Amino acid sequence: MEIFLDTANIDEIKRFASIGIINGVTTNPALIAKEGKNFRDVVNEICSIIDGPVSAEVISKDFKNMIEEARKISKIHKNIVVKIPATEDGYKALSIVAKEGIKTNFTIVYTANQALLAAKLGATYVSPFIGRLDANSTSGNNLIQEMATIYKNYNFNTKILAASMRNVIYVKEAALAGAHTATIPPDVLAQMMNNELTNVALDGFLKLWYELDESKREYFN
Ligand code: E4P
């Protein structure tokens, strides 16, 4: 499973990139705005840190401008994946830019039918918004399972990118349901790495180790 970091925060991206556990980054207009910097600068900096897919989103709602923006954004760096929202104009823009070879992340997806159409149009990734769907009393996890079945039935190459991950359980369930990728906020990814019992066990081992006479603790030479 590919793990993307769902943030535009450079410090967080550097932190997780240095651990080696992220394959890419996703941003959206809200995440970029939160950083208070120029769009192009932020996207460029992210691409200089992480050697993998970096999603950056169009902001127009009409297809003509979406296409223009998609073309411009895709030129920022070879790893750019252009996010296009699942609106009627979005499908229209997707069908054109996908044919031009621009990598796409069809986003804000809430139904299997939206995901089916995006795959037919050649989306590279499709992002179901799992947390937001759950908050609306509909199972986000069922949606991933449906998408996985549909994509398998028709041999689509489109990847399911589980988004809007609210906690570690979301990520595990997305992986079990067949998501190819999950984009995860930094705090949730940090929690995934840790377990209190690991720390308790490690402290116990090291406590006994340091009770051993110092002369008997040499083992690296
Ligand atoms: C990712 O690509 C999305 O922009 C993100 O996961 C949305 O998450 P949210 O529901 O926390 O805004």
Helix (H) or strand (E) holding 109: strand 104-109
- How does residue 133 score in pLDDT terms, banded at 50, 70 and 90? very high
Could you give the CA distance from residue 219 to residue 93 in angstroms, rounded to a whole number? 63
Averaged pLDDT, 40-57: 98
Q: Model-level pTM greater than 0.85?
A: yes
pLDDT at 221: 62
Torsion, Cα of 103, 109, 113, 117 (10° steps):
-20
Nearest-CA residue for ligand 1 atom 4 is 28
- How does residue 70 score in pLDDT terms, banded at 50, 70 and 90? very high
For residue range 84-99, what is the model confidence (pLDDT) as tens digits? 999 999 999 999 999 9
Cβ(129) – ligand 1 distance below 6 Å: yes
Integer Rg of the chain from CA: 20
Cβ(28) – ligand 1 distance below 6 Å: yes
Nearest-CA residue for ligand 1 atom 7 is 164
Active-site amino acid positions:
83
- DSSP classification of residue 163: B
Averaged pLDDT, 39-53: 98
Could you give the CA distance from residue 84 to residue 71 in angstroms, rounded to a whole number? 12
Contact 24, 13 (CB under 8 A): no
Q: Which domains does the chain have, with CATH numbers?
A: 2-195 (3.20.20.70)
pLDDT at 14: 98
For residue range 161-170, what is the model confidence (pLDDT) as tens digits? 999 999 999 9
pLDDT at 218: 83
Of 183, 187, 189, the one to substitute when testing ligand 1's pocket (max ligand atoms within 8 A of C-beta) is 183
Nearest-CA residue for ligand 1 atom 10 is 164
